[in-house]
């Protein structure tokens, strides 16, 4: 509890018999210092475990080479594989990379401004979360930024922002259209509650459009919403909802859950009830998590090119930082990943 972590640059200077600026020069690899004094100083620093105070540094510094990743939903498994991409790319470009989590009840813009002032950021990547009603507030940021898989675009605001995303409506359509092509007519949907504007409602829309295109009447009684007492987009939730679906006695030959995690729970509930997948009922998820391949049966899903999206986000940000205007919006094509969980609708 004591320690001597309260050393300052002055202490080091005194210990070395030099001025503080010389110590600073040594630490920051300035050229105008003799190798001899530098060595001596570094040795003393080492011996005394001196670590400079970042608050003071950041305060004084006029700029840094730090890029921040602001992440809403730190425990979203969809984001897992993206970390190391951000990290590797930014390190390769000689940027520091800091991760800042944003709570769901927090305003990411405020967090961004605060952090940008504190760390003199060079750029910001927003990951997850939702776009705000008023796009204007983004103008308060005075560093380049990119939105990566941030929800709810399209309502005219899209053109004004730099972002990387997929077209949720279209991809959802693609998946449901595929289910229809297998002969499914009664496709249950599990999505987020109606009020929430987010991927849930977009994928819902794709579902509706696919039914329409295939001439299948929309049946609201086949639309199920995640339960609010349970974590959203979780296998627990998918399981609970599917139990309810099964108990309702409604007929269905396929279930589309708007996330892979949900789909795991859906599958378990179906298999437990004695149904075979896809023999009796097909199941499909959304996101393309690696884990879908290891479920048994492996689960058909829409695979978002996460790595490429992460790369594109970094790339876009670096170009913006470099002063190059670049494509402002980048919509990625996701791929229908057909696996074992979907098959022809059972004949009745």
Partner DNA sequence: TTGTAGGCGTTATCAA
Partner DNA sequence: TTGATAACGCCTACAA
Contacting residues toward a second copy, per CB under 8 A: 1-6, 49, 51-56, 58-59, 74-75, 77, 80-81, 83-84, 87, 99, 101, 103, 110, 113-114, 116-119, 139-144, 234-236, 239, 264-265, 267-268, 271-272, 290-291, 293-296, 298
In angstroms, what is the minimal distance from the CB of 11 to DNA?
Answer: 8
Element (H, E) at 40: helix 35-47
Crossing angle of helices 235-248 and 260-272, rounded to 10°: 40
The item of DNA, a second copy, none sharing an interface with residue 235, based on CB under 5 to 8 Å by kind, is: a second copy
Q: What single DSSP character describes residue 102? A: E
CB 83 within 8 A of CB 308: no
Q: What single DSSP character describes residue 151? A: B
CB 328 within 8 A of CB 159: yes
State which of residues 60, 156, 221, 247 lies at the interface with DNA (CB under 7 A).
60
81 lies in the site for DNA, by CB under 7 A: no
The item of DNA, a second copy, none sharing an interface with residue 310, based on CB under 5 to 8 Å by kind, is: none
C-alpha–C-alpha distance, residues 329 and 322, integer Å: 18
Length of the chain: 348
In angstroms, what is the minimal distance from the CB of 177 to DNA?
Answer: 54
Residue from 266, 275, 254 nearest 342 by CA: 254
In angstroms, what is the minimal distance from the CB of 98 to a second copy?
Answer: 8
In angstroms, what is the minimal distance from the CB of 51 to a second copy?
Answer: 5
C-alpha–C-alpha distance, residues 267 and 299, integer Å: 9
The item of DNA, a second copy, none sharing an interface with residue 18, based on CB under 5 to 8 Å by kind, is: DNA
Q: Give a three-class secondary structure readout of 126-147.
A: EECCECCCCHHHHHHCCCCEEE
State which of residues 48, 49, 59, 293 lies at the interface with DNA (CB under 7 A).
59
126 versus 239: smaller Cβ distance to a second copy? 239
Q: Which residues bind DNA (CB under 7 A)?
A: 6, 8-10, 17-22, 24-25, 27-28, 31-34, 36-38, 52-53, 56-57, 59-62
């Amino acid at each position: 509890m004591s320690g001597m972590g309260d050393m300052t640059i002055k202490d080091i200077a005194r210990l070395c018999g030099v001025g503080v600026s010389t110590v600073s020069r040594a630490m920051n690899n300035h050229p105008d210092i003799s190798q001899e004094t530098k060595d001596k100083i570094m040795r003393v620093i080492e011996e005394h475990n001196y670590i400079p105070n970042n608050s003071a540094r950041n305060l004084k510094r006029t700029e840094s080479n730090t890029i921040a990743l602001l992440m809403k939903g730190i425990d979203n498994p969809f984001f897992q594989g993206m970390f190391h991409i951000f990290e590797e790319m930014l390190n390769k470009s000689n940027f520091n990379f800091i991760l800042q989590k944003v709570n769901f009840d927090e305003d990411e813009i405020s967090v961004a401004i605060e952090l940008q002032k504190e760390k003199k950021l060079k750029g910001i990547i927003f990951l997850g979360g939702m776009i705000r009603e008023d796009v204007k507030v983004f103008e308060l940021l005075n560093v380049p930024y990119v939105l990566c898989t941030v929800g709810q675009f399209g309502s005219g605001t899209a053109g004004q922002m730099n972002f990387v995303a997929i077209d949720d409506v279209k991809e959802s359509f693609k998946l449901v259209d595929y289910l229809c092509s297998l002969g499914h007519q009664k496709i249950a949907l599990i999505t987020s509650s109606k009020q929430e504007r987010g991927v849930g409602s977009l994928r819902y829309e794709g579902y509706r459009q696919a039914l329409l295109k295939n001439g299948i009447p929309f049946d609201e009684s086949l639309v199920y919403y995640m339960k609010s007492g349970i974590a959203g987009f979780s296998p627990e939730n998918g399981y609970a909802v599917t139990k309810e679906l099964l108990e309702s006695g409604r007929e269905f030959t396929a279930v589309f859950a708007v996330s892979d995690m949900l789909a795991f729970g859906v599958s378990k509930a179906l298999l437990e009830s004695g149904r075979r997948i896809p023999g009796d009922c097909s199941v499909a998820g959304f996101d393309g998590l690696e884990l879908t391949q290891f479920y048994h049966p492996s689960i058909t899903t829409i695979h978002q090119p996460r790595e490429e999206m992460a790369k594109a986000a970094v790339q876009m940000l670096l170009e913006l930082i470099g002063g190059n205007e670049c494509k402002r919006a980048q919509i990625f094509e996701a791929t229908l990943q057909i696996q074992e969980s979907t098959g022809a609708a059972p004949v009745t």
